[in-house]
Structure 1
Amino acid sequence: MPSSISPLSQPEPENNCADCLYMTLTGIPVQPVEHPDYLEFLQPFPMPQIDLYLTLKFSQQWESLPQGRIQFGLKGGALRLRVEGGEIPYESRIMGSLELVVPTVETDSPANLPIRDRISGELDESTLDLQGNGATEQPSLNGKPNHYSICHITTKVTEENPAWIFEEERGQPVLNGWLNQVKLGTLNVSALPCRLDATFEVSRRDICLTHVDRLWSPDISRNKRAVLDRLIIQQLLERKFKPYLSRVELHYDG
């Protein structure tokens, strides 16, 4: 049986603006291929492998200010992994265009999923039935079809500390919807203990104000509005988002 990380040994995930971005990362040990007994002595000791499954929920969040409030979302961002004692081969990583599911009812959101689908940073054999094929399509719980937006994902060429760049592909103002347990890649463990630190980071250009309530006159000029938007993002939102928006750690000790 594959070894696993005890759920008790995993730090709690950090989601600093959970209404804007909710992230978890789950690791599942890969079952080694069994060989006939007479060939076992010819086979090298198999290198442990862990499949990584990502859950991301993009939405819009309200922030109260002394004289009003604002709503903001993300146009994109970067998921960065820092790995000790292992590597994630480039060819195993997810990339391309994926559908973000927009929930049709409250119970579709990750916070209301069954506990099995909300595991954060655990390697547990009980999660082996989660979407191992990396499919992104989720059924609607009320029988009605879900609506989708498209997210484009690219990956940077580095095996030790890989990164994935998320961008809205259809020209929408912000990313909206979620990916549930999509296979991110496969971690090849080369030394113990193995540590993985995943952070979702955003820059100023990734943040978009989608609604402003009672902060200025509705007939304000477009240029003044753009300046004020930039000031709010720089002075308020960047302080909330630095050094990262979300963080998950995985520990594997064999």
Structure 2
Amino acid sequence: MKLLGTPVLLEQPIQPLVITFDSQAQQNEIEQIDLHLSIKFNEQWLPLMGGRIKFGIKSGELKLKLENGELPYESRQLIGSIELILPEEKPKPEKSNEQQRQEVSWSNLLPSLNGSKAGVRGFGTPTRRTEKLGATTCQITTTAFEENPTWIFEEDMGEPVLKGNIENIKLATLNVKVPTRVEATFEVSKRDVHLTDAQGLWPPDISRNKRAVLERLIVLRVLEPKLKPYLSRQELHYG
């Protein structure tokens, strides 16, 4: 998670020149800061007892704790349904001429060894299976509190977990009095965590009920302590 604050440049109307010596009044003048949010959701593998588990989150809460600042409800931009963005795939490196010549020679040799071209389908140019990561849609709601607002992120299309990124989207406009501090935390509970895969931990013919019990124990005793008190935290200071 990354939270960026940018001061808002307001066009000031031309006013008559007034000389004042009240420095405290100047310090208490209300200013504004635009808050932009970037956050990444993905699954993650974790080694466990000679095997491993893959997990993600299906919901979570972004909480802001403000000092000398307020976030009016009408200033909040990140509300509603949003499609998460997948990072761009890196282009595959081109094969060298030597690798191409080796593939051609193997594709020519294997049919003669097997007696027919049909028996060697796929051997001449081996394919590598890749796991495609599909982006999900996130439903975002917010509380009405102005001093310590909260945004709730939830998977919106029935997928097991959230996958994809939010990249530098305007969260809200903050009214501040200098100096201001903003503490942002992204928090999840055990009900937000979901196991999506497991390897080497139980036999393949295990019953659904036993597997469900083991998954709940893993979430409660292994994953939840790693995610407390928060999944991510950041502070902003202004003035």
TM-score by length of 2: 0.75
Q: Does 1:224 align with 2:224?
A: no
SS in 1 for 2:45: strand
- The separation in 2 between residues aligned to 1:36 and 1:194, in whole angstroms, is 28
Q: Does 1:31 align with 2:9?
A: yes
Q: Does 1:66 align with 2:44?
A: no
Code of the residue aligned with 2:163 in structure 1: it is N
Code of the residue aligned with 2:139 in structure 1: it is H
Q: Structure 1 residue 213: deviation in Å?
A: 0.6
Unpaired stretches in structure 1, ≥5 consecutive residues: 1-22, 108-145
Aligned to 2:89: 105
Give a deviation string over 1:152-186, Cα, whole Å, max 9, x none. 00001100000000000000010000010011111
Q: Structure 1 residue 34: deviation in Å?
A: 2.3
Q: Structure 1 residue 103: deviation in Å?
A: 2.1
SS in 1 for 2:85: strand
Aligned identity (percent) is 54
The 8 Å contact of residues 49 and 201 in structure 2, kept in 1 or not, is answered as: no
Q: Which runs of structure 2 are paired with 1:68-107 in the superposition (5 Å)?
A: 68-93=51-76, 94-106=78-90
CA RMSD of aligned residues (A): 1.9
Q: Structure 1 residue 104: deviation in Å?
A: 3.5
The 8 Å contact of residues 70 and 212 in structure 1, kept in 2 or not, is answered as: yes
SS in 2 for 1:193: strand
- The separation in 1 between residues aligned to 2:194 and 2:90, in whole angstroms, is 24
Unpaired stretches in structure 2, ≥5 consecutive residues: 19-24, 92-132
Q: Which runs of structure 2 are paired with 1:205-220 in the superposition (5 Å)?
A: 205-220=191-206
Aligned to 1:198: 184
Change (3 A) 1:241 1:50: same
Q: Which runs of structure 2 are paired with 1:40-55 in the superposition (5 Å)?
A: 47-55=30-38
SS in 2 for 1:161: coil
Aligned to 1:18: none
SS in 2 for 1:85: strand
The 8 Å contact of residues 101 and 147 in structure 1, kept in 2 or not, is answered as: no
Code of the residue aligned with 1:26 in structure 2: it is L
- The separation in 2 between residues aligned to 1:167 and 1:179, in whole angstroms, is 13
Code of the residue aligned with 1:58 in structure 2: it is F
Code of the residue aligned with 1:251 in structure 2: it is H
Q: Bigger radius of gyration, 1 or 2?
A: 2
Aligned to 1:4: none
Code of the residue aligned with 1:174 in structure 2: it is V
- The separation in 2 between residues aligned to 1:104 and 1:188, in whole angstroms, is 36
* Structure 1 runs, 4 residues or longer, greater than 3 Å off: none
Q: Structure 1 residue 37: deviation in Å?
A: 4.2
- The separation in 2 between residues aligned to 1:154 and 1:163, in whole angstroms, is 8
- The separation in 2 between residues aligned to 1:80 and 1:233, in whole angstroms, is 23
Among candidates 135, 138, 148, match of residue 161 of structure 1: 148
TM-score by length of 1: 0.71
- The separation in 1 between residues aligned to 2:223 and 2:180, in whole angstroms, is 34
Change (3 A) 1:106 1:178: farther
- The separation in 2 between residues aligned to 1:223 and 1:106, in whole angstroms, is 41
- The separation in 2 between residues aligned to 1:82 and 1:33, in whole angstroms, is 29
Q: Structure 1 residue 148: deviation in Å?
A: 4.3
Give a deviation string over 1:169-219, Cα, whole Å, max 9, x none. 0000100000100111111003x3211100000011100001101000111
- The separation in 2 between residues aligned to 1:65 and 1:88, in whole angstroms, is 43
